Amino acid sequence: MARPALPEHVTRRLRAQRLTGPPAGSPQEVTRALLAVQAQDLRGARLSVRARSNALSAADVDAALADRSLVVSWYNRGTLHLVAAEDHWWLHALTTPQQVTGNRRRLEQEGVSPGQADRGVAVVAAAVADEGPLTRPQLRDRLDAAGVPTARQALVHVLMAATVAGHLVRGPMVGREQAFVDAATWLGPRPADLDTPDGADEALARLARRYLVGHGPATAQDLARWAGTTLGAARRGLAAVAGELADAGHGLVDVAGRTTPPAAGSVPGPRLHGPYDPLLLGWASRTDWVGDREGIVTTNGLFRPFALVGGRVVALWSLAGGTPALTPLAPIGRRDLAALRADAADVLRYLGLPESPLVVVTR
Question: pLDDT for 350-359, tens place per residue?
Answer: 999 999 999 9
- Angstrom distance (rounded) from CA 252 to CA 220: 9
Does residue 262 carry a pLDDT above 70? no
Question: pLDDT for 158-189, tens place per residue?
Answer: 999 999 999 999 999 999 999 999 999 999 99
pLDDT recorded at residue 261: 62
Q: Are 68 and 79 in contact (CB under 8 A)?
A: no
Domain boundary among 165, 192, 225: 165
Q: Is residue 31 part of a domain?
A: no
Q: Are 330 and 290 in contact (CB under 8 A)?
A: no
Domain boundary among 105, 139, 165: 165
Does residue 341 carry a pLDDT above 60? yes
Q: Is residue 187 part of a domain?
A: no
Among 85-89, 237-241, 256-260, the least confident range: 256-260
How many C-beta atoms surround the C-beta of residue 73 within 10 A? 24
Q: Is residue 28 part of a domain?
A: no
Identify which of 310, 357, 358, 345 has the alpha carbon closest to the alpha carbon of residue 331.
Answer: 310
- Angstrom distance (rounded) from CA 46 to CA 233: 30
Q: Is residue 250 part of a domain?
A: no
Question: pLDDT for 112-147, tens place per residue?
Answer: 999 999 999 999 999 999 999 999 999 999 999 999
Q: Are 191 and 199 in contact (CB under 8 A)?
A: yes
Domain interval for residue 312? 271-360
The fraction of the chain above a pLDDT of 90, given in percent, is 90
Distance of CA 209 to the CA centre of its chain: 17
- Angstrom distance (rounded) from CA 40 to CA 276: 8
Strands, sheet with 359-360, edge to edge from the N-terminal-most edge strand: 271-273, 306-309, 312-318, 325-328, 359-360
Structural domain total, the chain: 2
- State the DSSP code for 24: B
pTM for this model (two decimals): 0.96
Tell me whether strands 177-182 and 271-273 are parallel, antiparallel or unpaired. Answer: unpaired
- Angstrom distance (rounded) from CA 139 to CA 223: 35
Domain boundary among 165, 193, 209: 165
- The band of 297, judged by pLDDT with boundaries at 50, 70 and 90, is confident
Q: Is residue 125 part of a domain?
A: yes
Q: Is residue 71 part of a domain?
A: no
Q: Are 69 and 63 in contact (CB under 8 A)?
A: no
Q: Is residue 110 part of a domain?
A: yes
- Out of 79-83, 198-202, 285-289, give the one with best mean pLDDT: 79-83
pLDDT recorded at residue 296: 77
For residue 307, give Cα distances in angstroms to 68, 127, 180, 273.
Answer: 32, 42, 33, 6
Identify which of 82, 78, 67, 278 has the alpha carbon closest to the alpha carbon of residue 169.
Answer: 82
* Element holding 211 (H helix, E strand): helix 197-215
Q: Is residue 220 part of a domain?
A: no
